[in-house]
């Protein structure tokens, strides 16, 4: 339900990765495949967008204090639009603040947000006009991968509604894989010929 909430996007992405990693002992193959796919969609954990979490109600004040403290950390060597998937081996013990650098302040410049609230304690931000105005601005920004997240949720729910038996689920995956091999070039034209 919080997928469309812009300020929750960095937190949600990190939380999803952490939850996925917890199942490594259960089925490491599936976890590796899922993580490999998710790691190429880490836009909201990038240096530029991770500061969105300063406006999230899901991020504790203690974490926001850390984010503000590390805003002076040196920038990465290259200006990546998303986190380099190879740079993070494990997300389990990471926090949002570990993705923050000096470049994270670019968000304030790009959205023309007043930064003065950063000099005060996060516990009093909600009472400040500059923070509430900035939070409204951030809330108006659309989350780009919202549709993707909803599609993944829909596919997961559908998958779980087919069967709860893991053996049967694996058989379904094998049937789908077999049919994909049968259709070598899935194009609209090829299906109209049938």
pLDDT digits (tens, 9 = 90+) for 154-173: 667 777 777 778 888 788 77
Residues 106 and 164 in one domain: no
In this predicted structure, what is the pLDDT of residue 190? Answer: 61
The total of structural domains in the chain comes to 2
Token pair for residue 43? 């836009």
Contacts of 58 (CB under 8 A, 6+ apart): 2, 8, 11, 12
Instruction: Tell me if 44 sits within 8 A of 10, measured CB to CB.
Output: yes
Instruction: Let me know if residue 1 belongs to a domain.
Output: no
Q: What are the backbone dihedrals phi and psi of residue 101, each rounded to the nearest 5 degrees, phi first? A: -140, -175
Residue 165, domain extent: 148-193
Residues 122 and 31 in one domain: yes
Place of tokens 């049938």: 194
Instruction: Tell me if 122 sits within 8 A of 61, measured CB to CB.
Output: yes
Residues 152 and 74 in one domain: no
Residues 132 and 75 in one domain: yes
Instruction: Tell me if 45 sits within 8 A of 83, measured CB to CB.
Output: yes
Predicted structure pTM score: 0.64
Nearest one of 116, 80, 118 to 99, comparing CA atoms: 80
pLDDT in tens, 7-37: 888 888 888 888 888 877 777 788 788 877 7
Residues 125 and 156 in one domain: no
Residues 17 and 56 in one domain: yes
């Amino acid at each position: 339900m919080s997928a469309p909430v812009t300020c929750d996007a960095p937190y949600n992405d990190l939380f999803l990765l952490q939850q996925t990693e917890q199942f490594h002992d259960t089925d490491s193959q599936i976890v590796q495949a899922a993580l490999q796919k998710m790691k190429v969609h880490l836009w909201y954990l990038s240096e530029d967008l991770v500061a969105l979490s300063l406006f999230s109600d899901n991020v504790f004040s203690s974490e926001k204090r850390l984010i503000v403290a590390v805003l002076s950390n040196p920038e990465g060597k290259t200006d990546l639009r998303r986190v380099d998937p190879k740079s993070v081996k494990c997300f389990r013990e990471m926090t949002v603040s570990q993705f923050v650098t000096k470049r994270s302040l670019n968000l304030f410049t790009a959205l023309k947000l007043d930064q003065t609230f950063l000099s005060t304690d996060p516990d009093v931000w909600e009472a400040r006009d500059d923070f509430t105005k900035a939070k409204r601005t951030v809330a108006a920004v659309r989350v780009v991968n919202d549709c993707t997240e909803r599609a993944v949720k829909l596919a997961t729910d559908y998958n779980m509604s087919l069967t709860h038996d893991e053996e049967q689920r694996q058989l379904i995956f094998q049937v789908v894989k077999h049919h994909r091999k049968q259709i070598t070039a899935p194009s609209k034209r090829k299906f109209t010929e049938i």
